[in-house]
Amino acid sequence: MFGLKVLFILIILTHFVAPASASRIYTFRSTVDFESGMDDNPQVNGLGFLPSAGKAFTLVYGIYPSIFMNSTGPESEWHFAYATAINQVGGSDLDLNSRSQTFEGNINAALTRNLKMRFSELYVRSPDFMTFNLSRGIVSMPEGFLPRSDLVALRRNSHFNAASIGFDYTLSPAATLSAAFGHEIRNYEKNPLFARQLSDQNVFRENLLYLRKINNRTAWNVGYSVYRYDFREFNSALTQNLEFGLSRQISKSFSASLSAGPCYIKSLNSKSNFAGYNASLTVTKSFENDEVSVAYHHRTGTSVGIGSVSDIQDLGLSYSRVLGRRIKLNGAVSLYDASQRLDNPAESRGISVSVILNFLLNRHWAFNLGGSHQKQEGTNIFNLERTRMFISMRFMLPEFLRLEK
């Protein structure tokens, strides 16, 4: 966890760089979710080991404690969260019980009047990322490196670690130049049956972005990024991307952003190379009690978690609605299609649906109803379909400790 070491170093630096007379406020809150539910495919996770076992709903239950710490000062903000989970599966001769944990940290600091720094660290260890998030009330559209691998990680103890540091320099009231560096690691539980299909991965990335505001509602940007993908079982690849983007706050409740640009992918272990393009469109609309967001991406030469680099198209929809003073609905749907590139032996496509209904009972208790459905196909060994439904009680301590220094 290299990023975690960097995180603590930055905490110390921002703490001591702050003026001696400045005060910091530390607040702590906590939640515990007690869950019970039904899962129609808890044992095989689509890996084809037990084709004769069939699919039948099985009782599952778990406990999900979390703790959060925020710290604010005149020049910096820190946000940390830690969560763990103990999951049990009943009615099976297989050992399907599991434990998960995650740590997330973010630092935002003003180094000078015009220069700001941001750092983020995420570590997750879980055999089932989607259930781990949903059972804690997290519903979102999958993005990037982590969730794409989720569909093939069920019931396998997988590790994901991502760290990034970025700097934003204000050139003028209308212009900002940003640079960021990141490292992502994905390690799968070893099993010889998955050789040449699942492979441990390292991703190194560098980004440079220039953002210019046209007015209070419209901005354009141009960016350049480099990604290096290192796979244990496959050839390494280098991806270079050039991006042109435009964002517009059409109204107070309606916003849209569009980006597109060419890319070039080169194999670092062979003479193979190819060109492609990236494109994305995001639209968000808010109503009196609702919010809808739609996002589409086309990415060339990136990682989906199966095999090596792929061309990926994905479409996501998220929806939230306030049904009353104490009731809220959140849901998300994501579809993706990954095509083979370079020495990638596998292609895959899938759909993921999740929804949760939250009833706030009082300041300390909430009741949740939720469910998820996942389907993936394209390679025989990773074809899966899974449905899960649950109910949970959440105990909350909104602010059990406040310190001022």
Angle at the Cα of 107 (from 103 to 109), degrees rounded to 5? 175
The rounded distance, in Å, linking the Cα atoms of 90 and 70 is 38
At residue 143, what are phi and psi to the nearest 5 degrees?
Answer: -140, 145
Q: In this predicted model, what pLDDT tens digit does every residue of 274-294 receive, in sequence order?
A: 999 999 999 999 998 899 999
Contact 319, 144 (CB under 8 A): no
> Would strands 254-267 and 365-377 be described as parallel, antiparallel, or unpaired?
unpaired
Place of tokens 């046209």: 214
pLDDT of residue 167: 97
The pLDDT of residue 16 is above 60: no
H/E segment holding residue 397: strand 384-404
Percentage of the chain with pLDDT > 70? 82
Architecture field, domain 2-404? Beta Barrel (2.40)
Which tokens belong to 110? 């003003």
pLDDT of residue 12: 55
pLDDT of residue 51: 43
The rounded distance, in Å, linking the Cα atoms of 345 and 340 is 7
Which tokens belong to 131? 């259930």
The rounded distance, in Å, linking the Cα atoms of 124 and 306 is 18
Q: In this predicted model, what pLDDT tens digit does every residue of 137-151 receive, in sequence order?
A: 777 654 543 444 444
The rounded distance, in Å, linking the Cα atoms of 58 and 50 is 15
H/E segment holding residue 230: strand 218-231
Give the residue from 190, 152, 187 showing the smallest Cα distance to 382: 152
Contact 6, 119 (CB under 8 A): yes
**pLDDT tier at 154, thresholds 50, 70, 90:** very low
**pLDDT tier at 45, thresholds 50, 70, 90:** very low
Dihedral of alpha carbons 398, 130, 307, 334, sign: negative
Q: In this predicted model, what pLDDT tens digit does every residue of 302-330 receive, in sequence order?
A: 887 777 888 989 898 999 999 988 999 99
Neighbouring C-alpha atoms within 13 Å toward the C-beta of 330: 13
The pLDDT of residue 84 is above 90: yes
Residue 343: Cβ within 10 Å count: 18
Q: In this predicted model, what pLDDT tens digit does every residue of 354-389 receive, in sequence order?
A: 899 999 999 999 999 999 888 877 766 667 788 889
pLDDT of residue 134: 78
pLDDT of residue 151: 46
pLDDT of residue 152: 43
Contact 68, 89 (CB under 8 A): no
Q: Where are the beta strands (DSSP E) in 40-190?
A: 58-72, 76-89, 98-110, 115-126, 158-172, 175-187
Residue 174: Cβ within 10 Å count: 12
Mean pLDDT, residues 326-352 taken together: 86
Kindly report which listed range (37-41, 114-118, 190-194, 237-241) carries the lowest average pLDDT score.
Answer: 190-194
Give the residue from 190, 197, 224, 227 showing the smallest Cα distance to 210: 224
Q: In this predicted model, what pLDDT tens digit does every residue of 204-261 receive, in sequence order?
A: 999 999 999 999 999 999 999 999 999 888 888 999 999 999 999 999 999 999 999 9
The pLDDT of residue 190 is above 90: no
The rounded distance, in Å, linking the Cα atoms of 36 and 346 is 36
pLDDT of residue 247: 96
Give the residue from 294, 331, 341 showing the smallest Cα distance to 314: 294
pLDDT of residue 144: 42
Dihedral of alpha carbons 185, 189, 190, 196, sign: negative
H/E segment holding residue 130: helix 129-134
Alpha carbon separation from 237 to 179, 223, 298, 349 (Å, rounded) = 22, 20, 18, 22
The mean of the pLDDT values for the chain is 83
The rounded distance, in Å, linking the Cα atoms of 259 and 279 is 6
The rounded distance, in Å, linking the Cα atoms of 234 and 5 is 29
